[in-house]
Amino acid sequence: MITIAIDAMGGDHAPQVPIQAVNQAIDKYPQVQFKVYGDQTKITPLIRTDQRIEVIHCDGIIDNEDDPVRAVRTKKESSMVKAARAVKDGEADVLLSAGSTGALLTAGLLIVGRIPGIDRPGLMPVIPTISSEHPHLILMDAGANADTKPINIQQFAVMANVYARRVLNIERPRVGLINNGTEASKGSQLSKEAYTLLSELDSIHFVGNIEAKNLLSGEIDIAVTDGFTGNAILKTLEGTVKSLVSLLKSTFKSGNLSTKIGAFLIKNPLKNTLENLDDSKQGGAVLLGVKAPVIKAHGSADEEAYINAIRQSIHVIESQAVVQITNYFSD
């Protein structure tokens, strides 16, 4: 039985959405039980009664306004901290939250704890590409670290490689280093040294540098970079898609009659296409490098996105990716 610890108070639609997702998932996934952390008075009226669902009462919420380190250290009765503690103590296998990213990363580091041999865990979203043959791009680190050393990037590659193979079933993931040019000699001091370390690694299929303009084409499976750049890339991507969609909407809205008819006719296929770009279909971003998987669902995750994150949590545990990573670094 897999035990998922859910921070039911995190995210824009808490606790309704996490609870609805649990209510759905309990039938869908018979191999799972849930520990649901949050305000019992709010949760109990909403949640199904099932012997595989346990509600653990918590006081207080960590939100985006809180300083992550201080909040994790002081709000010991909050839903996020208590859920992290359960994972740490072996009472749950995986932590899932749609709460503050900073606080969740901190809880992962300070409570769940680093895997020995890994200097810095990294945050790893799975981004949809426009390639039907290679629909997934793993990005790591997407922002767990503001300052990164070459060895960290090498370790990101190892961890992402295990995830791609075991969870996404990509046989021989192509790993690229994000750089400002494709030649081996290109880049910052950091990226040049990371290039050398990645080249020396027999356990991965390193294909060299990749420019950020080619990330969505499907030509690589894993893009590694420092957390500052990765964060900027992920956010640029999100912002550009959002801006473009809002631009399309206003074009259709302000158009003449034939534009409006046209917009009506393409509405559904367009919606389907844009949904393919929605990375919440892939679940959440995984903090890899800590002793148990910590999964960050989008703050705005709806029920479907949350269920995707639950499914992903199950896959990560069943794949034993974290065990594999731990073994690799214990050698």
Binding segment toward a copy of itself, per CB under 8 A, in 5-13, 36-44, 110-118, 241-249: 241-249
Q: How far is the CB of 319 from a copy of itself (least distance, A)?
A: 29
Q: What's the CA gap between 86 and 92, in Å, rounded?
A: 6
94 beta partners: 4
Q: What's the CA gap between 66 and 44, in Å, rounded?
A: 27
**Residues for the chain: how many in total?**
331
Pairing outcome for strands 136-140 and 126-128: antiparallel
Instruction: Choose, by CB under 8 A, the member of 31, 188, 196, 300 that binds a copy of itself.
Output: 188
Instruction: Choose, by CB under 8 A, the member of 229, 280, 312, 313 that binds a copy of itself.
Output: 229
Q: How far is the CB of 223 from a copy of itself (least distance, A)?
A: 10
Of 8, 98, 91, 2, the closest CA to residue 47 belongs to 8
Q: Could you say whether residue 18 binds a copy of itself (CB under 8 A)?
A: no
Q: Which is nearer to a copy of itself, 113 or 218 (CB)?
A: 218
Q: Could you say whether residue 196 binds a copy of itself (CB under 8 A)?
A: no
Q: Could you say whether residue 239 binds a copy of itself (CB under 8 A)?
A: yes
Q: Could you say whether residue 191 binds a copy of itself (CB under 8 A)?
A: yes
Q: What's the CA gap between 265 and 287, in Å, rounded?
A: 41
Instruction: Choose, by CB under 8 A, the member of 12, 50, 77, 147 that binds a copy of itself.
Output: 147
Q: How far is the CB of 163 from a copy of itself (least distance, A)?
A: 22
Q: How far is the CB of 142 from a copy of itself (least distance, A)?
A: 10
Instruction: Choose, by CB under 8 A, the member of 63, 238, 278, 302 that binds a copy of itself.
Output: 238
Q: Could you say whether residue 122 binds a copy of itself (CB under 8 A)?
A: no
Binding segment toward a copy of itself, per CB under 8 A, in 198-206, 268-276, 308-316, 322-330: 268-276
Q: Which is nearer to a copy of itself, 169 or 258 (CB)?
A: 258
Q: How far is the CB of 189 from a copy of itself (least distance, A)?
A: 6
Instruction: Choose, by CB under 8 A, the member of 217, 275, 300, 327 that binds a copy of itself.
Output: 217
Residue 324, Cβ density class (10 Å: 0-12 exposed, 13-18 middle, ≥19 buried): middle
Q: Which is nearer to a copy of itself, 87 or 127 (CB)?
A: 127
Pairing outcome for strands 122-124 and 285-288: antiparallel
Binding segment toward a copy of itself, per CB under 8 A, in 75-83, 181-189, 193-201, 297-305: 181-189
Q: Which is nearer to a copy of itself, 77 or 147 (CB)?
A: 147
Q: Which is nearer to a copy of itself, 77 or 275 (CB)?
A: 275
Instruction: Choose, by CB under 8 A, the member of 264, 275, 300, 318 that binds a copy of itself.
Output: 264
Residues that bind a copy of itself (CB under 8 A): 102, 129-130, 143, 146-147, 178, 180-181, 186-189, 191, 211-217, 225, 227-229, 231-233, 235-244, 246-248, 251-252, 255, 258-259, 261-267, 269-270, 272-273, 276-277
